[in-house]
Amino acid sequence: MANVAVIGAQWGDEGKGKVVDWLASRADLVVRFQGGHNAGHTLVVGDQTYKLSLLPSGLVRGKLGIIGNGVVIDPEALLSEIARVRAQGLNVSPETLRIADNATLILPLHPAIDRAREASRGDSKIGTTGRGIGPAYEDKVARRAIRVADLAEPETLSAKLDELLLHHNTLLAGLGAPVFEKQALLDRLLELAPLVLPYAEPVWERLDDARRAGKRILFEGAQAVMLDVDHGTYPFVTSSNTVAATAASGSGMGPASVGFVLGIAKAYTTRVGSGPFPTELLDATGRLLGERGHEFGTVTGRPRRCGWFDATLVRQAVKVGGVQGLALTKLDVLDGLPELNICTGYRIGGEIFRRLPASPRAQAAAEPVYETIEGWTDSTRGARSWADLPAQAIKYVRRIEELVEAPVTLVSTSPERDDTILVRDPFEG
């Protein structure tokens, strides 16, 4: 049996949480490997709705959850989220959740820097969540980050805070924002240490033991390929690599352990925040997609921009993300639309492109080239087999397969976990 890595194939918010939750019934461990609490997954289980940001979705299935070293962790946000889901009845304890001891921490100064810099950009805002994700990754790369293991060493914390504050207070002062005092930060970290450290361990050892024992591992990505810091619509991207290769480096396992790569894509396209969006609809159809799909960010609550399915974008995500199969979500949102458009390329300066160029100027100028497909009148909501789908809906799915050059292995037809058409079990490889 293969391991499975789940990544987004658009700009995030594709419904990864439901798919990971659904796949977790076949897994033994679920691993988050990048991002922070700027990403969110919504899981609907019966009459309960769980909104997760840092916690691996597999916890809802009673599976062991692991937060890998590739994740940046705000300890306050983590403990708050644990308390919230415990109140909903989930068992979250050091027996069910493990955290990489070499993961980077987000401190209060990180969101302060994030917000101050975003405000200074004026009309050129990137659209960050202001939660300090980017600045924390910057500290990690600059080798001045405080990591989970450092919470056990007060002297290490004190020395590292000196270096951090020398850097960040200078920036904050330059941006006209309040600066931070060392003692208050140190005192708070020492208060948090006994609450966080019981979860910490070198998770790479546990994962290696699981691999040797033949356990099934599900790797859970955040955001999506088009928000990847290298391969996305830079600079309107997140601060980590979101492609499947990061499942290895962000968990402490070798690349051969990643297994089958499942890309998640909506049957249309959405985006939160700023940046290019060639197929965006600013008309009644765009508003209809947003209303039907309840398109609001899980973490931010911001309304998502909506548009037609962009096959050119997803094909590019398939190639650079290593996607071997596609999970198509929210097919039911398209029910009843007389015609559907699929973007098959971009017109930029009179030339047709079958990829999204790296240049921000070219991305902003890209105009979609559409192929029009007849819609369907019968409902797809709740369908659990191909036989339950209208013929025209199947035709739409098949055309997407052709254009993105990847098979659709799973179709989701409602937020409910069991309203899913399984074409191929990813764990079968």
Based on the domain organization, do 307 and 338 belong to the same domain?
yes
Do 57 and 117 lie in one domain? The reply is no
Instruction: State the catalytic residue, choosing from 13, 139, 310, 332.
Output: 13
Residues 321, 223: Cα–Cα separation, whole Å: 12
Mark whether 296 and 418 lie in a shared domain.
yes
Same domain? For 181 and 250 the reply is no
Residue 161 DSSP SS3: helix
Burial class (CB in 10 A: 0-12, 13-18, 19+), 33: buried
Contact 366, 356 (CB under 8 A): yes
Which of these three, 220, 241, 260, is where a domain ends?
A: 260
Give yes or no: residues 208 and 329 share one domain: no
- Does 139 lie in the same domain as 77? no
Q: Domain total for the chain?
A: 3
Looking at the fold, whether 176 and 224 belong to one and the same domain comes out as: no
Of the residues 41, 110, 168, 231, only one is catalytic, namely 41
Residues 338 and 328: their CA atoms lie apart, in Å, by: 20
User: Residue 170: exposed, middle, or buried by beta-carbon count in 10 A (0-12, 13-18, 19+)?
Assistant: exposed
Note if 74 is an active site residue.
no
User: Would you state the pLDDT for residue 317?
Assistant: 97
In the listed set 213, 236, 260, which residue is the last one of a domain according to the structure? Answer: 260
The CATH number covering residue 96 comes to 3.40.440.10
Clarify whether residues 297 and 348 are in a common domain. Answer: yes
Q: Is the pLDDT of residue 47 over 80?
A: no
Quick: pLDDT tens for 192-249: 999 999 999 999 999 999 999 999 999 999 899 999 999 999 999 999 999 999 999 9
Contacts of 374 (CB under 8 A, 6+ apart): 338, 339, 340, 392
167 is catalytic: no
The answer to whether residues 423 and 375 belong to one domain is yes
CB 220 within 8 A of CB 56: yes
What range defines the domain where residue 344 resides?
Answer: 266-428
Burial 63-76 (b: 16+ CB within 10 A, else e): bbbbbbbbbbbbbe
Please name the helix (run of DSSP H) or strand (run of DSSP E) that holds residue 210, with its range, or none.
helix 203-212
Q: What is the pLDDT of residues 341-367, one digit of tens each?
A: 999 999 999 899 999 999 999 999 999
Where a domain ends, among 175, 196, 217? 196
